[in-house]
Amino acid sequence: MKLQTYEALLHSKYRLALLLFLFLNTATSLFFMLPLGKASSLSWSIPTLLITFFSLILLSWYFLKPKVELPILTVTAFIMGLLWAWQIAWRFSLVFYYDGSFLLISLISIFFISALTLSDYFVAFCLHTAPVTLTVLALDDGEHLLVLLSTIALTLIGFTLQHMMRRRSDRFTRRLVSQLYEEKETYSDLSMLDPLTGLYNRRGLKNRLENILENHAGSHFVLLLDIDHFKAYNDNYGHAMGDQALARVSVAIRDAVRSRDIVTRYGGEEFLVLLTNVNASIAMKLAERIRQYVLDLEIPHRFNERVSTHVTVSAGIAALYEDDFDQALANADRALYLAKNRGRNTILAYEDLLHSELSHPADVI
């Protein structure tokens, strides 16, 4: 799950709390309109009508515009709290015989609504319950102070404990999600890198290539490089030394090109460099620089027959036309093959080969 998804989850929880809050307020206000006794008729009042009206308006808005965010829970809770306080005061004036039960039931009803819907929203909870609590205490005038205070205290203690536990678990979940997300990013990055050289592997290249082809309209070149006589190097110096040579050649290639070029370990001792936003002559210069940097490493290679006494690379380069990477790769491979044939430690451009096709037809076939 992404962090954005978690945020969306929190938002939907908020919307649900608002929906339930409005629904319970409507239901309770309708309940309060019921007749007081058998003989009495419907006892509607301005505050209950306002609560019902206000709740229904917001509920309709909620359903008609499901995508619109309504950060109004706190304000709504406070307005409802005031209206309930008004309603309780008005209804209290109609109570003929007062034994404390009316105020207690009113208080518990409001706490019930708040605890069910606003337990995650501390400020809204306080703003909703405070006007009613103060009104009830004032109306009771100390007659049932102990009962009322213990009801308020029990509710508040329960709410506070639950709120604290919920916040702790929310914090934990958020931390967990963010850790998981970071780990996922790290693993995804690692899966695109070659562990020996730290260069991109084929997967990494594919990923970057898609990105580059989408965002860079300029001209790009595919450069395919291969270490000369590397089997002989491995056979004579050992695999561990072979690994070291590969790592050093990788650094030289990376150093020789620009940061925006994509350097990939394409196979065992084969590298692919995607030279981005570059013209043919600069691409050739960069390729030549790689060849020189590798030679300058002066990694001894006595078995690089007739080429050099050090490790060298051969390379083929081809332009990337019309985003056809496979074709450019095949062309670069062809040029590399011919560079090997022409004595190694050499770079050939596929486009130059096409021009020389007439003069060396046997080469290009």
Which residues are annotated as catalytic? 269
Stretch that binds ligand GTP, among 23-31, 99-107, 163-171, 227-235 (CB under 6 A): 227-235
Compare residues 76 and 264 and give the one whose CB is closer to ligand GTP. Answer: 264
Among 269, 273, 315, 335, binds ligand GTP (CB under 6 A): 269
By CB under 6 A, tell whether 336 contacts ligand GTP. Answer: no
According to CB under 6 A, which one of 55, 117, 135, 234 is a site residue for ligand GTP?
234
14 beta partners: none
Q: Does 333 contact ligand GTP by CB under 6 A?
A: no
The answer to whether residue 81 forms part of the interface with ligand GTP (CB under 6 A) is: no
Interacting span for ligand GTP (CB under 6 A) from 24-32, 199-207, 236-244, 286-294: 236-244
| Angle, alpha carbons 41-47-48 (nearest 5°) | 50
The residues with which 180 forms a beta bridge, in sequence order, are none
**Judged by CB under 6 A, does residue 332 bind ligand GTP?**
no
What is the distance in angstroms between the CA of the first residue and the CA of the last residue of the chain?
54
Decide whether 128 or 229 has the Cβ nearer to ligand GTP: 229
110 touching ligand GTP, by CB under 6 A:
no
301 binds ligand GTP per the rule CB under 6 A: no
Q: Which residue stretch of 4-12, 45-53, 235-243, 282-290 sits at the interface with ligand GTP (rule: CB under 6 A)?
A: 235-243
Out of 205, 246, 284, 349, the residue judged to bind ligand GTP by CB under 6 A: 246
Q: Which residues contact 347 (CB under 8 A, 6 or more apart)?
A: 284, 287, 288, 291, 314, 315, 316, 317, 339
> For 183, how many CA atoms within 13 A lie in the half-sphere containing its CB?
7
> Does residue 254 touch ligand GTP according to CB under 6 A?
no
The CA distance from 149 to 130, in Å, is: 13
CA pair distance 194, 196, nearest whole angstrom: 6
- Whose structure tokens read 């050499």? 346
If the CB atoms of residues 228 and 261 are measured against ligand GTP, the closer one turns out to be 228
Helix (H) or strand (E) holding 12: helix 3-32
Candidate ranges 49-57, 87-95, 120-128, 226-234; the one touching ligand GTP (CB under 6 A): 226-234
Tokens of 104: 């207690």
List the one residue from 18, 24, 126, 227 that touches ligand GTP (CB under 6 A). Answer: 227
How far is the C-alpha of 365 from the C-alpha of 359, rounded, in Å?
12
Q: Is 216 in the site for ligand GTP (CB under 6 A)?
A: no
Instruction: Figure out which of the listed residues 171, 231, 260, 342 binds ligand GTP, where binding follows CB under 6 A.
Output: 231
DSSP state letters, 254-301: HHHS-TTSEEEE-SSSEEEEEE-S--HHHHHHHHHHHHHHHHHT--B-
Q: Which x/- pattern, by CB under 6 A, does the window 194-213 give for ligand GTP? A: --x-----------------
* Binder of ligand GTP out of 35, 158, 268, 343 (CB under 6 A): 268
Q: Which is nearer to ligand GTP, 229 or 291 (CB)?
A: 229
Nearer to ligand GTP, 136 or 311 (CB): 311
Q: Could you tell me the sign of the dihedral formed by the alpha carbons of 246, 247, 250, 252, in that order?
A: negative
Residues 173, 129: Cα–Cα separation, whole Å: 29
The 3-state DSSP class for residue 220 equals strand
Q: Are 241 and 302 in contact (CB under 8 A)?
A: no
DSSP annotation of 75: H
Residue 158 to residue 121: CA distance in whole angstroms: 14
SS3 308: coil
342 binds ligand GTP (CB under 6 A): no
Binder of ligand GTP out of 48, 77, 129, 226 (CB under 6 A): 226
Minimum CB distance to ligand GTP smaller for 13 or for 231: 231
Candidate ranges 31-39, 150-158, 225-233, 321-329; the one touching ligand GTP (CB under 6 A): 225-233
| Residues of the shown chain interacting with ligand GTP in the complex, contacts defined by CB under 6 A | 196, 226-232, 234, 239, 242-243, 246, 268-269, 340
